[in-house]
Structure 1
Amino acid sequence: MILHEHLPAARHAVENALTRYLAAVDARGLEGVLAVLEHATVGFGGGPTRGRDDLATTYGGVFAAGRATRHLLFAVHVDVDDENPTLLRARATYQRWSLDEAPPRLVALGDYTAGFACVDGPGSTTVQVALQSLTVSRDWQEI
């Protein structure tokens, strides 16, 4: 599949994958996070993490120590990798809000940089993607 021809559908698939990830994080749903990150290398606040056991340890610790949150995703930009038209590169801005008190309070701003592989089967009419890499960059975080 040449993704340039299917970029709007690919962008939608990328947004859906990122939204599933954030919904699982906000629900502190470890299995949901692992389902999205199954084949991904993740980087935030330390070295890269990969593999179900390491991701479960990392996110389990975050969920145990964390607060009730709501993540908002903005300005999702998706491009086809020029060297491999079955790979997508995405960048999205996010806000993380604390829901531990009323009213909700903004606690972090930043960007997600992600890589996705196209995983369509032969003859597929839809674009399916698998998250391959996710890097979280924080521009600001409440201390």
Structure 2
Amino acid sequence: MKNLGDPKYFLGIEILRSQGGIFIRQKKYTLDLLVETGLLECKPIDTPIMANHGLQLIKGAKLADIGRYQCLVGKHIYLAHARPDIAYVVGLVSQFMHQPQEDHLEAALRIVRYLRGTLGHGVLFGENGHQRIMDTHTLTGPAT
């Protein structure tokens, strides 16, 4: 066996070390998602879901492309591992995997627009097991 040192990436998750602890994020995965959805140049939004969203199945509503929807929501589920700030809304949109409607697809794409404005966000695992969501720019000490 050979020691390759501290990991920098693991399963697409970037691992940064600083004096504050270990920081994980999925910036490249998020950028790839933005390119794939055509939203790389979109205007970022402040929240991943509207207040009083009212997402539900509506009888007779226009259906979305089920394959596209399931693929997009699956990518959101993977992103939520290092982005607990989207966990609630990802759980919400995943409820409609069996019969997605246009409103559900719009909500899933809204998450992508939110991610556009929060590319550097991830989770810092600090001392004493404390965790918090933060941006790369606020790490204390050199990130390696």
Normalized against structure 2, the TM-score is what? Answer: 0.30
**CA radius of gyration, larger in:** 2
Point out the structure with the larger helix share.
Answer: 2
Point out the structure with the larger strand share.
Answer: 1
Normalized against structure 1, the TM-score is what? Answer: 0.30
